[in-house]
């Protein structure tokens, strides 16, 4: 009798365990009736999800156009050495809507001093030393932005800007520490192409004409740049 009861006690839990075990296995394998939603409800969910993902707006994916590159040509007046053609290239990075940093490289050719012309004697500088090459790194600030109008139907963006910076000028056989400042006008033909008019003064010390003095070398140029 006692052994029969014991057997009963063993069989009942064993059956219960066995059944629940089977149910758990079914659930694990995804075979359980409750865990599987009807297939018709599942499909629309899968269709919608990728569409949302693809349209997500990410800041990094937007094309930025903060760089401006271009070329310029104009006239440079080299103090004591006449005026001549100047040409060069410019690269700018627009940091904010107001400020930009700019690097320019330019070249011109110095003419004769009035002394050389009047005396007719030996030239003060060799031809190589007459080449005037400069670079400078500037900080610029856009002022007076606005629109200009051509006739009734055309409007263009434009802005004036001020620049100031430091650089070096190779002239008369030496590199000379140069301070330059100036102003310019940027005329945007499109959002990405601009025309420039620039006026700049390059100041450096020179002593080749007998005294140590600071010279002003004025430059006016026209340029074209492209934003990228």
Binding footprint of other proteins on the chain (CB under 8 A): 52, 54-59, 61-66, 94-99, 101, 137, 139, 142, 144-147, 155, 157, 159, 165-168, 172-177, 188, 191, 207, 227
Radius of gyration of the chain (CA): 39
Residue 107 or 159 with smaller CB distance to other proteins:
159
Shortest Å distance, C-beta 29 to other proteins? 34
Pick from 187, 191, 182, 181: which is nearest to 224 by CA? Answer: 187
Shortest Å distance, C-beta 57 to other proteins? 4
Shortest Å distance, C-beta 37 to other proteins? 23
Residue 7 or 175 with smaller CB distance to other proteins:
175
Please return the burial class of 168, using the count of CB atoms within 10 Å of its CB with bins 0-12, 13-18 and 19+: middle
Cα angle 164, 105, 212; round to 5: 65
Shortest Å distance, C-beta 183 to other proteins? 16
Residue 175 or 201 with smaller CB distance to other proteins:
175
Residue 4 or 54 with smaller CB distance to other proteins:
54
Q: State the maximum Cα–Cα separation within the chain, in Å, rounded to a whole number.
A: 144
Residue 2 or 61 with smaller CB distance to other proteins:
61
- 12-34 core/surface letters (b: 16 or more CB in 10 A; e: else): eeeeeeeeeeeeeeeeeeeeeee
Shortest Å distance, C-beta 11 to other proteins? 57
């Amino acid at each position: 009798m006692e052994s029969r009861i014991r057997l009963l006690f063993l069989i009942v839990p064993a059956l219960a365990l066995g059944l629940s075990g089977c149910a758990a296995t079914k659930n694990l394998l995804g075979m359980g009736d409750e865990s599987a939603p009807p297939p018709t409800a599942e499909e629309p969910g899968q269709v919608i999800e990728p569409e949302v993902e693809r349209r997500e707006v990410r800041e990094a994916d937007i094309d930025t156009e903060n760089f401006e590159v271009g070329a310029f040509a104009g006239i440079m007046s080299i103090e004591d050495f006449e005026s001549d053609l100047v040409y060069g290239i410019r690269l700018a990075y627009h940091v904010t809507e107001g400020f930009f940093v700019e690097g320019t490289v330019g070249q011109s050719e110095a003419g004769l001093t009035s002394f050389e012309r009047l005396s007719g004697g030996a030239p003060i500088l060799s031809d190589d030393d007459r080449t005037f090459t400069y670079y400078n790194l500037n900080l610029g600030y856009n002022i007076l932005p606005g629109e200009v109008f051509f006739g009734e139907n055309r409007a263009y963006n434009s802005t004036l800007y001020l620049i100031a910076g430091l650089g070096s000028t190779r002239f008369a056989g030496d590199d000379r520490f140069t301070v330059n400042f100036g102003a310019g006008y940027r005329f945007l033909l499109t959002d990405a192409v601009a025309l420039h008019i620039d006026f700049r003064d390059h100041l450096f010390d020179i002593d080749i004409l007998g005294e140590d003095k600071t010279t002003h070398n004025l430059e006016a140029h026209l340029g074209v740049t492209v934003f990228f």
